[in-house]
Structures are given as C-alpha cells and as structure tokens.
Amino acid sequence: MDAEKQRAIASKGGQSVPNEKRSFSQNRSLAAEAGRKGGQNVSDENRSFSRNRDLAAQAGRKGGQASHGGKSRESRSQV
C-alpha cells in the first residue's frame, strides 16, 4: 500500500473519533481513566516497572525496535 493511501485511511480513523475524545492531552481525566483501565489489565507481578528494572529495560528495547525497526543508532545515521 502506498504512503498516500495509508495516510488517507488513517485520517478517516482519526476523524471518526469525537473531538472531545481525540487527544488525551486535551482531557487529563480521560487519560487517567484510560491509564487505570490499562493498569487493571496487567498482572500484579508485571504492573510496575519501578519494581522490576529488567522488565522495564525489556519493554524499552521492544519499543525502540518497533519505532526504529530494530536498527542501532549507528546504522540509522549511516543510511
């Protein structure tokens, strides 16, 4: 799928959300509610990164791989 078509589809998804619910930055109570719901779905042993540094590091690595395609900083700068 080309980038333009992907943007058009994503835009439709964003437009389907009412303005008052579109951004957590505009509504702190909505963000807090969503965070509580998410936290309740996590098992007690995995709930807090502050209790488990290895789990936090693992999550950070996963996030970095997802957002950067698993490339190191050096390989990204050489592209």
pLDDT digits (tens, 9 = 90+) for 30-68: 888 888 887 777 776 666 676 778 888 888 888 887 776
Q: pTM for this structure?
A: 0.31
When comparing pLDDT for 29 and 46, which is higher? Answer: 29
Check residue 50 and give its pLDDT. Answer: 67
Q: Quick one: average pLDDT of 68-78?
A: 57
DSSP for 8-74? Answer: HHHHHHHHTS-GGGS-GGG-HHHHHHHHHHHHHTS-GGGS-GGG-HHHHHHHHHHHHHHHHTT--HH
